[in-house]
Structure 1
Amino acid sequence: MNSEKSFPSIESKISLFPTLMLQGLLYGVMLMGFGFLILLPAYGIYKRGIEVMLIPVLICFPIGFGILIPSVKHYIIKRNPVASKIIINETGLLYCNSKGEIASKILYSDLIASGKEFDVLSVLPPSSGVMPMLEVFTASEKEGRAALRIEMNLPLHVVSDRLILYAHFLQGISIFRPDLKIAPQVFQNYFIDPKTWKVNRKSAGYLFLILVSGVLLICGLILWIVMTFA
């Protein structure tokens, strides 16, 4: 690993309005779910008695608690361990929580050769949406050799500089792990000039606009479904 070359640290930037929309939608759905699945049946018991409300309670309470308890535990009670910032520096890719603690990390030293023509690839799984995911290979004593797919995203946050993060991480691989080969398709998918490691901002701007529009559309669609059928 070459640690002599200067390599600045960069952090993720959050797009405020889409992030607030996404978080507001989630907490709003959780609140409405609590109201319709827990409070209304409980109020029905108070007004009509348990005999009348037994079947609705047996249906609503398990569904409500089954959804709300894991959601509250993950997004509210245990918010500190959840990553809220991405840092890329000379050690690798770090996902940090609101306290600045490292929730997870991918170090350059952990990367290994794929055994294929290229060691760093980009893939588009069905669930990943518009943006491809970066695929690298790691090895550890516990898990052994494994393919790891990286998406520059954060829970309940819309990252506005995802392409810049990809470019910086790839540049870090080229500096600290020159033994690994990056597939040319990776640079095309993330609009990166491999000579300068700069992102084509015009193409990236169009992609970001599509991503934000998609997030807002999905938020609006979910909200409409909830308001219509709740």
Structure 2
Amino acid sequence: MKRRSKRYKNSASGIDSAKDLELQEALEGLKTQSRVKFDESVELSFSLGVDPKQSSLSVRGTVKLPHGSGKEIKVLVFTENPDDALKHGADYAGLEDLITKIKDGWTDFDVAISTTSAMKSVRSIARVLGPRGLMPTPKAGTVTDNLEEAINEVKSGRVDFKMDKTGAMAVLIGKCSFSSEQLLENANSAIKAVCSSRPDGFKGRFVKSAHISSTMNPSLRLKSSIF
């Protein structure tokens, strides 16, 4: 059995984890229970009714958080003109040099963007980037020739999400230092985006359950009426 720290148990003791909570109530509970010395991340997690083994029903999407995620995002851009990408705020930019580095095991970045012409080369590392959720795609807005807009969007609070092989999905919505109002607005945007990512042709209950948690606190179950 997994052992919990004393701090974790004390945090859990102040909240009825068996109760389905309204979003505002859950957020305020998390902020009240946060007693650690670092700024905890706050995350929504969803259990989906989609069979992850059916590739035609894959679930992924993006959300623009009104107040950002609070996380410093490292952006890599695949392009034949790295100076232009770096000028617009990319942390890393290049093409064949970065592809070689990634083939050797380096993935120290959060989001990858590619120009349309560079994608021909980027596809050679799809098996490396894909499983990590880092492969640029037109649907996610990460295959584009408008690098300035794409980089600014990612840096200013866009968060990508993708269903994992167990049918679960997590979305970062901010930090405990955010106000309750900021977290609530971010959470509502994330929930709307997740519900909008329902695959075409899927029948049945899309979101089976949803929880919210911070880094060092137990997750709290949300009322189904929210989603």
Q: TM over 0.5: same fold?
A: no
In terms of Rg, which structure is larger?
1
Q: Whose relative contact order is higher, 1 or 2, with alpha carbons under 8 Å and at least 6 apart? A: 2
Given the two structures, how large is their TM-score scaled by the length of structure 1? Answer: 0.25
